Structure 1
Amino acid sequence: MIVGDFGEDYEIMVPFQALQAVGHEVDAVCPEKSAGETIKTAIHDFRGDQTYLEERGHDFELTATMSEIDPSEYDALVVPGGRAPEYLRGYESVIETVQHFFAADKPVASICHGPQILAAAGVLEGYEMTAYPAVRPEVEAAGCSWVEETVRDGNLVTAQAWPDHPEWIAAFLDLLD
C-alpha cells in the first residue's frame, strides 16, 4: 500500500485492516519516510457541496520503508486516495512500483484520487475504470474509459470514494483469490 500525508483516512485504514482481517500481510510505505514513522491522514465527508469537506484524521504508522522494499516480493498493490496522490505521483520510486505491478499483471486496487498516480505511471491505456469524479479528466487523458461505479477490469479494481468500500474491497478480495 502506497500512502502519504493527508491521504484519505478511511481509504487507508479500512482496506489495510480488512486485508489483515482475512489473513493478508500488508505493508504500508511512503517515500522519504521509514517504518515506524507516521503519516497524517484526512477525513473527507460528503455533505452535498460541490466537493468534499476535509478534516484532520488519524496518524497512521508505516510498516515498511519504501526504499527497502522489492515490489517483486509482493502479490498486490493498493493505492488509496486523498490529497497524497497529488504529490506522490512525483516520486520515481512510486511510479516504478506501480509500473511493476501492471507489467507483472498483479492485482491493483485504487480509489478516489489514487488513480492520479496510475495515470502518471502511464498504465491506464485501454482500461475501464472509475475514480473520484474530479479526477475523470486525468484518467481519460491517460487512455481509459470512464464508468460511474466500482469496476474490475483485468488486474485493476477502482472505486470513486470510501462510500464504495463494500463493493471495492469485495471485488479486490475476489481478485486476490
Structure 2
Amino acid sequence: MITVLMLGSLAGALWILGVRDWRVFGATLLWPPVVSAYQTANVTLPLCLLCALIWRGRHRAWLPGIVLGAALAIKFFLWPLAVWLAAMRRLRASVASVAIAAASLLLIEPFIAICTYVDLLRKLSNTFAGGSYTIYAFLLELGAGSMVARTVTLAAGGGMLLLRGAGSRSDWLSV
C-alpha cells in the first residue's frame, strides 16, 4: 500500500508539472534514486509532489505557502523555497509557509522541548554534514575550516542566483 502511495506521488508530481510522455514516466520509475525511494518508502517522493504543487500554484496568493508549510513540517530542508516565494514577491505565501512550519514545531512539544530539539538538529548537522555530497563537505575534505566552507558554499549559491538573474530579464526566479 505504501509503495502505491510513493509511486502515486511521483506520477502525480510528473502529471502536475505537465509531463505526458509515457517514456518519461517509465524512465523516471526506473531511475535508481527513485527505485530506492519507493522501496524504502522514504518521504522524498511525497515531498516531490508537494514541490510540484508549489510550482504549479506559484502565482496564487496563499496556496503555495500552505503547501510549503506542510512540506516544511515534514522536512525542513525545503526552506529555500520560502525565500524563493518571498523573492518572487509572494510574501503572503512565504509568511504562511513559515507560520505553518513554526506551528508544526508545537506538535513535538509534548515529547521534547523545542530548544532540546533544535540542539539535537544542530548536533546531527555537525555530525553528518561532512559526509554529505555538498560543496561544504568537499571543502571540509580538502582541509578547509567549517566557517570557510560555509562561506564558500553560500557564495556559490548566491553567485548561481546572480548568474541566473543576469541571463534573463523577466521573472528569473521562477524559471
- TM-score normalised according to structure 2 size: 0.25
- Larger strand percent: 1
Quick check: which has more Rg, 1 or 2? 2
- TM-score normalised according to structure 1 size: 0.25
- Larger helix percent: 2
Higher relative contact order (CA 8 A, sep 6+): 1
